[in-house]
Amino acid sequence: MSWHATILTLFPEMFPGPLDVSLAGRALRDGKWRCEAMDIRGFATDRHRTVDDTPFGGGAGMVMRPDVADAAIAGAMAGGETEGDTRPLIYLTPRGRLLDQAMVRDFAAGPGLVLLCGRYEGVDQRVIEARGMREISLGDYVLSGGEIAALALLDACVRLLPGVMGAAESAVEESHSAGLLEYPHYTRPAEWQGRAVPPVLLSGHHAEVDRWRRAQSEAVTRERRPDLWNRMQVAGAQAPA
């Protein structure tokens, strides 16, 4: 069975969106993964298809109702039988755990994902707890809804599926794959506007090239992402001898 993504959203027309082009789009047409967008409003029970209500305790904005969200989740997972669907249930929210490449690899290795895209002020906490949702964030900023975050997460996962990328080693050498940012790249011409390609890349000595690339990755990570660098140092110090 292909990797299966179900997106619960108030705007199903946003999917597959940009995932219908390039590598992800080709993989979608080749059947390497499935993209199913479900309209949360279809699970509302009143004639106005209401999905939200005012928050208890007062405050600005509206909150997505737990009964509607729960019905949508049940409808998404194995025809409403959650026991038959082992895909992780993800709620995309700024208060979630920060997404990283290790999480992406785990998701890509599984059967797929069920993604709940929040809107308004968020989703009633009770359904998050009742369904054991994993709360995930793309970063320390706020989007209008979870749809853009869902597209980013799906793109990160799909490109790691077997047969999607042309060269498997490309994924291994990318930023974050080994805990470091990626080294800089160069191509023809060898000199451009007075700027020359580093000589080691023209030397033909693969071991020297590998050492240069590693050193560049370490340098750029120390400079731009000291949090990643410190995490690597801690992990190295804790590794068994």
pLDDT of residue 175: 56
Which domains are delineated in the chain?
3-158 (3.40.1280.10), 175-238 (1.10.1270.20)
Tokens of 81: 């039988």
Q: Tell me the percentage of the chain whose pLDDT exceeds 90.
A: 84
Q: Could you tell me which residues come within 8 angstroms of residue 2 by beta carbon, excluding any fewer than 6 positions away?
A: 31, 32, 33, 34
9 in Cβ contact with 37 (< 8 Å) = yes
Q: Is the peptide bond before 16 cis (omega within 30 degrees of 0)?
A: yes
114 in Cβ contact with 80 (< 8 Å) = no
pLDDT of residue 145: 95
Q: How confident is the model at residue 80 (pLDDT cuts 50, 70, 90)?
A: very low
pLDDT averaged over the chain?
92
The dihedral sign for the CA sequence 204, 205, 208, 214: positive
pLDDT tops 50 at residue 82: no
The dihedral sign for the CA sequence 66, 72, 75, 81: negative
Q: What is the pLDDT of residues 85-142, one digit of tens each?
A: 999 999 999 999 999 999 999 999 999 999 999 998 999 999 999 999 999 999 999 9
Confirm whether pTM is higher than 0.85: yes
Q: How confident is the model at residue 171 (pLDDT cuts 50, 70, 90)?
A: low
SS (H, E, C) 38-54: EEHHHHCCCCCCCCEEC
